[in-house]
Structure 1
C-alpha cells in the first residue's frame, strides 16, 4: 500500500543551530509523543495517555511557539477553530437542555483539541517519520494481540477496547498513517505492517470497516507509481482472492462474519428483523422517527438509549438484553440528528466535510513536486471515518473520537508546513 513518490520536506533534518535548547527539547519530546500515539493506541491498555502526557510536556517546555505559529497560520486554521467551537456550543446546549451527564458530551468536546494539535505540528516542526514508525509498531502489536485473543478462544478480536468494531476502526486509521506518512524508500516495512493490519481487521470480524480498507488501497494505488503501484495491484488481488475464499471456506466465512451476513439477509427477506443487520435497520428507522419528533433540539446528546428504552418491546419489566441494550444509532448522521436535532445534524456534517474541503484545498494549493503526503493522508483518514460512520457511531467511543481530533489536527498542521516549505524550515 503505497504513497506518491515525491520529495518529502518533512523528513529533512531540522536546523538546530542557534535554536533555543528548550525548543529543541520540546521538539524531541513531541516526536516521541508522535511515535507513542499510533504505537500504543490499541496495542496496549494505555491508549492515548502516553501521547497526551508527552505532548503536554512539550507544550510546557516552549508554550510561546503556539502563539508564534498562530500568527503565521491563524487564517488557515480559523475555519477548524470555528467549527470546533460551534460543535462544542451545540453539545453544551444539548447537555444543559436535557440534563445530560457531562461524560456523555465528553467525546464530542474533544474536537476542541483539533486546532491545538495542528498548531503543535506546525510550530514545533517535528518529523512526520515518527508517526510512520509508530504506526508500524502499532499495527504489529495489534496483530499480536488479535492472534492471542482468537487463539485463546475469543470469537472476535477486540484488543484492549472491549469492542471489536472500535478495534478494527482504529486499525484502519493506523494503516492510513503507515501508508501516507511513509518516508521514501520504506515500501517493504510499510506493506508488511499494512498486511498485518488487514489480517487484524479480519480477526475482529468487523464487516463495516472493509470499505475503509478499500478506500486506503484504491487511493494509494491511484497516487503511486513504479514498484509501489505494482505492490498495490498485488495487495488488491490478494484481497480479492481473500474475499472469494471467505465466501467458500467455512472457518474464514465464520471469522469474517460473511456467513452471518448471508443469514441476516435471508432472515430479512422472510420478514425477521431479529438479527444484527435487522437491528441496524431498526435503529436507523428509530433515529429518523426521533428526529421528526424532536427536529430542533433532539433528545439529548449521548441519549439515544432513551429512545431505544421507550420502545414497547423494551419497556420494563422486559429485561434489557440484545437490541434493548443498544445506546447509540450505529451511524453518525442519524445519531447526531436524533440526539441534537438539526443543529446536531449540521454539526456532524461540518465535523467531516470541513476538514475534507480543507485537505482538498491543501492538495490543490501544493504545486507538482512538492510533498502532498500529509494532506492526502488527512483526506483519506476523513474518508475512512465517513465510511465507518455509516455503520457505527464513531463519536460514541472515546478512543476513535479522540484519535480523529488528534490525527486530523496533526496532519493538517503538517500539510500547512509543507505548503510553506520554502520558508526557514521544513
Structure 2
C-alpha cells in the first residue's frame, strides 16, 4: 500500500517545477489562451524528448525500459500519421498541413515516457487541474463571452461545440478527482464539486448537446467502478445524485430544454422532407460519407477529399446547397472524416488512438495503488467521452483539440501507470 501524498509533500525541486506547472495548469491554459494547448504540448514534447535522449547524469531519468503497454500506446498514437501518409502517397498528393494534426498524437508520447518516471509528489500537482480548468470554462463565458452568428456563446477562439465538450469532460474529471491523492479537506472538496457544476453549466450555456450523449455512458461506467465493494445505501444514493444533477440541468436551464426540443423538431422536419436543419444536414453528410466509403473503401479520397467532393454531390442532387456548404467545413463525424479521406486504413488508425489508451486504462483499474486506479478511471472516462463527442462533430479538425486530447492521454496514462513502474524499479511502493 502506498503512502498518501500529503500537502506538505507537494513541494517540488527545480527539476520538477516544469512538469508540476504543466500538470496543474494545462486544462485551464487550453481554454484561457489561444494556442495555449498547442504551445504547451509542443514545448512539453520537445523538452521530454531532450530529456529522454540526453545524458542520464543531468536528466535524472532511469534508463528507458519498454513494456508491452508502453509500446502499444506509442505505436497506436503513431497510426494516424502513418495512415495519412500512406493514403496521400497513394494518391500522389501529400498536403503538408494535413500531417500536422495526426503528428501531434505521436508527439505527445515523449511526455508520457517522462512523466511515468516522475515522483508522486510531482504528479500530485494534477490534483486540482481539472477543477481549475472547469471553473475557467465558466469564468470565460461569464466574463468574456463571444456570441456566434447562431446565438450561441463560446470563447473568442473556440466554437461552442468544442468548448462545451471540453468544459463538460473537465467537470466530470473534477468530481472524479475527489480524494484522489489523499482524503481531501472540505475546501478542496467544495472546489472540486464546484468544478463539476461549472463544467456542466458552461456546457449548457454553449448550447452544445452532442456531448451530453456521453453522460449516461460515463455514468454507468462510474457507477460500476465506484460501486464495487460499496454499501447498498451508497449504490442507491450515487445514481440518484447523478439523476438529480442531470434533471436539474433541464429543469433550471431553458437553454437545455430548447436545444433538445429543437432536436425533436429536426427529426419531424427531416421525415417531412425538410433537410436543411441541424440534424438534417448531418444526416445528409453521413449518407454522402457512406457513399464515398463504398466507392473508395481502402484508402479514401486523399487529402481534403470529402471537402472537395461536396460540389459534385450537390450537382447530383444528393446534398442541398446548405449541406454542401457545411460539408466543405467538416463532416460532423470524426470517423467519417478519416474514412472518407483516408479509407478504412484511416478509420483503423483513428480507432487505435481510442482503443489503445482505453485498454491501458481498463487494465490499470485494478492497479495496487489507489491514485493510479483513480487516474485509470479518469483516463477511461476521458477517452470514452471523446469517442462519443466524435460521433456528432469532428473532434480533431482543430490542432488545439488534437493537442488537448493527446496531451491529456499522455498525462493520464502516466498517472495511471507510475506506481507499477516505480514498484518494478525499486521493489517497494512509491513514496
TM class by shorter chain equals 0.7 to 0.9
Cα drift, residue 263 of structure 1: 2.1
The whole-number CA distance in structure 1 between the counterparts of 2:175 and 2:194 is 11
The whole-number CA distance in structure 1 between the counterparts of 2:406 and 2:234 is 30
CA 1:232–1:46 in 2, change beyond 3 Å: closer, same or farther? Answer: farther
- 2:248 maps to 241
Give 1:243-262 correspondences, 5 Å limit: 243-244=250-251, 249=254, 253-254=257-258, 257-262=259-264
Name structure 2 gaps, 5 residues minimum.
none
Give 1:147-186 correspondences, 5 Å limit: 147-148=142-143, 155-182=151-178, 183=180, 184-185=183-184, 186=188
Name structure 1 gaps, 5 residues minimum.
1-5, 17-22
The whole-number CA distance in structure 2 between the counterparts of 1:215 and 1:199 is 19
CA 1:263–1:83 in 2, change beyond 3 Å: closer, same or farther? Answer: same
Conservation of the 8 A alpha-carbon contact between 2:276 and 2:323? no
Cα drift, residue 397 of structure 1: 2.0
Stretches of 4+ aligned residues off by more than 6 angstroms: 10-16, 151-154, 226-229
- 2:267 maps to 265
Helix, strand or coil: the match of 1:311? helix
Cα drift, residue 384 of structure 1: 0.4
- 1:411 maps to 412
Helix, strand or coil: the match of 1:82? helix
Q: 1:38 pairs with 27, 36, 42, which one?
A: 27
The whole-number CA distance in structure 1 between the counterparts of 2:169 and 2:6 is 21
Conservation of the 8 A alpha-carbon contact between 1:110 and 1:405? yes
CA 1:54–1:290 in 2, change beyond 3 Å: closer, same or farther? Answer: closer
- 1:205 maps to 207
CA 1:408–1:245 in 2, change beyond 3 Å: closer, same or farther? Answer: same
Cα drift, residue 376 of structure 1: 1.2
Cα drift, residue 153 of structure 1: 8.6
- 2:74 maps to 81
CA 1:310–1:165 in 2, change beyond 3 Å: closer, same or farther? Answer: same
Conservation of the 8 A alpha-carbon contact between 1:90 and 1:344? yes
How many residues are paired up?
407
Give 1:208-227 correspondences, 5 Å limit: 208-222=210-224, 223=226
Question: Cα RMSD between the aligned structures?
Answer: 3.4
| 348-357 or 209-218, larger mean C-alpha shift | 209-218
- 2:389 maps to 388
Cα drift, residue 67 of structure 1: 9.9
- 2:331 maps to 329
Q: Deviations over 1:192-243 (max 9, x none)?
A: 1110110000011111011233444444444166899757743531321333
